[in-house]
Amino acid sequence: MSKYIDSLFNLENKIAAVIGAGGHLCGEMAKGFARAGCKVAILDLRLEKAQKVADDIQKEGYPRPLAIALDVTKKEEHELALAGIIQEFGGLDIVVNGAGINGPSPFFEISLDEWHSIMDSQITGTFLGCQVYGKYLVDQGKGSIINISSASAGPPLSKAFTYSVAKAGIKNLTQNLGREWGKKGVRVNAIRPGFFPTEWNRKNFITPERENAILGHTPMGRYGEPSELLGAILWLASDAASFVTGAEIEVDGGFSCMTI
């Protein structure tokens, strides 16, 4: 049985690029790929954060990942990153588009700068990631792209206006590309995390009242741990999900199925 499971989910020597991997959730995803036997590229705007995750992976006894500084809003930087990954590892099989920021401004106080910075980091960054790395994967005839949607993709969450619009766009883009590349060997899916709060989220979004509302709407009655995203991520990256494309997979403790 274990040999069957190993063959079904095997990612040994696959090459994974995780964009936004200096962060709370994608950093854990990068570690998950390394533990699964992948060669990993860690891409983040903050090179020092990417290098910290690479250090952590190396300390666990896995080969040190390639850390790359990347501004996801610049196509030329994606192209340079792809060239660096191919030079270092010889190819690419898996891409996670996970970069992005949020903002808590009330609707009438959202500036154009805030709107554009969130939209650019989320939807433009994901678009460029799919366009640049997706072209490489389509040309080679195989690969898996995993985008990061959100419980805010619809119905939208309060206090996250621009973020919600961007995540809805990411869901739509994922479905569009799942349709377009269905016969080209490249699968495009998204995960839809529930609440996995960072320190920033707790400071800027989660008041005691909001926490009660979140947990009261989550059947499991708790927040998620970053490691609890790994099962879905590794499954979507593997051949076990060979007939899954254009999907949005909820990992939210039941939040999306809760009404009253």
CB 21 within 8 A of CB 30: yes
Residue 2 pLDDT > 90: no
Annotated active-site residue 223? The verdict is no
Distance from chain centroid for Cα 222: 21
DSSP bridge pairs for 39:
15
- Kindly report the pTM of this predicted structure: 0.96
Query: Which residues in 143-182 are b (16+ Cβ under 10 Å) and which e?
Result: bbbbbbbbbbbbebbebbbbbbbbbbbbbebbbebbeebe
Q: How many Cβ atoms sit within 10 Å of the Cβ of residue 216?
A: 10
The DSSP symbol for 121 reads I
pLDDT given for residue 1 in this prediction: 53
Q: How many Cβ atoms sit within 10 Å of the Cβ of residue 217?
A: 19
- What type of residue sits at position 41? A
- The CATH class given to the 2-197+227-248 domain equals alpha beta
Residue 198 falls in which region: left (phi positive, over 0), alpha (psi -120 to 50) or beta: beta
Mean pLDDT, all residues of the chain: 96
Catalytic pick from 62, 133, 136, 163?
163
Q: How large a percentage of the chain has pLDDT more than 90? A: 92
Residue 114 pLDDT > 80: yes
